[in-house]
Structure 1
Amino acid sequence: MSFDNAYEALTEENDARWAFGTGFADPLAGMDTSVPSGVDAGELARSCLWLGDDALIMSHRLQEWCAAAPELEDEVALANIGLDLLGQARLLLARAAKADPGMVPVVDQSDEDALAFFRDAEDFHNVRLVELGGGDFAFLMARLLVFATWRLALLQRLANAPDPVLAAIAVKGVKELTYHRDYAARWVVRLGDGTALSHDRMQDGLADVWPYVDELFDDDAELRAEFDAVIAQVCAAGTLQIPVVSRIPEQAGHTEHLEPLLAEMQSVARAHPDATW
């Protein structure tokens, strides 16, 4: 590679590895993955694991829309957004495994695949928003808008993380999530300001998503204010009302949607644990 260091390669826009995750055994190969002085390895690993889980599960939900989107162009767009998030998940889970190998559930496989395919539902840390099943296209766009707006604000802050690997992942993710958010916002406006039917379905999609919004912020008022400003602008353009709904009560586990999702996603890896592809 014609770069001065691995971090430049990771943040290069034309690096196809990020999008497709093929052609290399270790997504962090050649990078210094030692934990910097002053950074708590366990805390770093947990942060990367949670961010990776969010991206992994959301990616799977988006891929379910392949061959189901309203137009071919949108099937391609959703597939590419899903691949972006899958690339983020792979790098983040790989970083988590390198920072704290003890969290990997398969003793002889301390990598991102083990974290993705050999953990049970209770060991995942994704937000409940991403695991919800069902819904129509308006629900999908409402969820994508909320997820991308929130995650973009998070990764913008992590671009200055003390761990250079996490910071490089965040820098690349910001570019991708800016497109994800704008793609969803255009559809929310288009549906909200369209026909009476499309407006009602878009409003219903937001109402179905909104009970899961509060748990994203963990009392981070600054992050919430940034999120609210973006959502308010999009809703105003789409003649939509920001829902006033009750928050889903806190619970120790996940929704009933996660286990079936993981059963499908993990089936091949668990049936052939020694296979390579």
Structure 2
Amino acid sequence: MSDEDMYAHHDVTRWAFGTGFTDPLHGLDQAVPDGVDAEALAACCLALGDDALVSAQRLAEWCTRAPELEEELALANIGLDLLGQARLLYARTGRADATGRGEDAYAYFRDPADFRNVRLAELPGGDFAFTIARLLVLSTWRLALFEALTAAPDPVLAAIAAKSVKELAYHRRYAAEWTVRLGDGTAESRRRMETALDTVAPWLQELLTDRTAAPLGAAPAAVAHRIRSELAEVLRSAGLNRTGAGLHGSAPVAVLAGSGRDGIHTEYLAPLLAELQSVARAHPSATW
């Protein structure tokens, strides 16, 4: 984050992305600490930033389309939280990889093969139940990961994680409440929730085996155990014990070839990025 992202208000430095937010990185030394692998740090921040950016773009598709105004605002705010996380992570990437690139360079001027997001984030929006199922899985995983990263040896990443944990706890709670509501609702809402969970389940393995944050203190086995136990508890509460094979405790998980962490993506990422990047690429020298 640069000084341009800050503003002073009554001698208090605040985060310029909104009002009333203190900058989570204010006062931290931005240099990569001795003993921290800068390459691993950059790779971790880039991947987690890509997850957040792509997820935010998918959630933005619900603007004017959500079932109710309240849910439209909730999904928009969750997307904005993720966008803020992406900005912080991209800023850290630019310092860790020694390129000095800013957030826009990572978000708008990379091709699909250069993105490192997990593929679940890029799948088409589907219906409301699918969005809830995906949000439940991604937020449960991301919350477990970021809680572990609050103790990362890089203090900047640890501060980003600490800020993000508060947001992700809400994201997970929102998705869990809707999962229970839909699963325990009408026959139609239950059917849609079951279909959504069955669609999401095969993509879980990519999250369970992700080692991107392992060098920074997020043990994959511990993260995976927490994800599966928490998902199983939500599905039990929703009465959805016989759907979403692989989302329940120690049940076997389907394995899909490839990984977004290696730049292997679905056919859906390219058009998503084309829309996201269109204005920036049409006016590459513009400032706003």
Same fold (TM over 0.5): yes
RMSD, aligned α-carbons:
2.4
One-letter code aligned to 1:217: L
Give the % identical residues. Answer: 57
Match of 1:115? 106
Match of 1:249? 257
Distance 1:76 1:15 in 2: 24
Match of 1:238? 238
With structure 2 as the length reference, what TM-score do the two structures score? 0.83
Distance 1:184 1:153 in 2: 15
Distance 1:78 1:149 in 2: 16
Query: Map of 1:136-155 to 2, 5 A cutoff?
Result: 136-155=127-146
Match of 1:266? 277
Does residue 70 of the first structure (1) align with residue 67 of the second (2)? yes
Distance 2:170 2:136 in 1: 11
Match of 1:9? none
Query: Map of 1:1-277 to 2, 5 A cutoff?
Result: 17=16, 31-102=28-99, 110-218=101-209, 220-241=220-241, 242-244=243-245, 246-250=254-258, 253-277=264-288
Partner of 2:35, secondary structure, is coil
Distance 2:44 2:111 in 1: 19
Change (3 A) 1:31 1:274: farther
Change (3 A) 1:99 1:16: closer
Tell me the alpha carbon deviations over residues 108-146 of structure 1, each in whole angstroms, 9 at most, x when there is no partner: xx2111011000000000000000013100000000000
Tell me the alpha carbon deviations over residues 167-199 of structure 1, each in whole angstroms, 9 at most, x when there is no partner: 000000000000000000010000000011110
Distance 2:25 2:61 in 1: 28
Distance 1:114 1:29 in 2: 23
- What are the ranges of 5 or more consecutive residues in structure 1 without an aligned counterpart? 1-5, 7-11, 105-109
Distance 2:14 2:209 in 1: 34
Question: By how many angstroms is 1:29 displaced?
Answer: 7.3
Does the 8 Å contact 2:61/2:125 carry over to 1?
no
Does the 8 Å contact 1:139/1:205 carry over to 2?
yes
With structure 1 as the length reference, what TM-score do the two structures score? 0.87
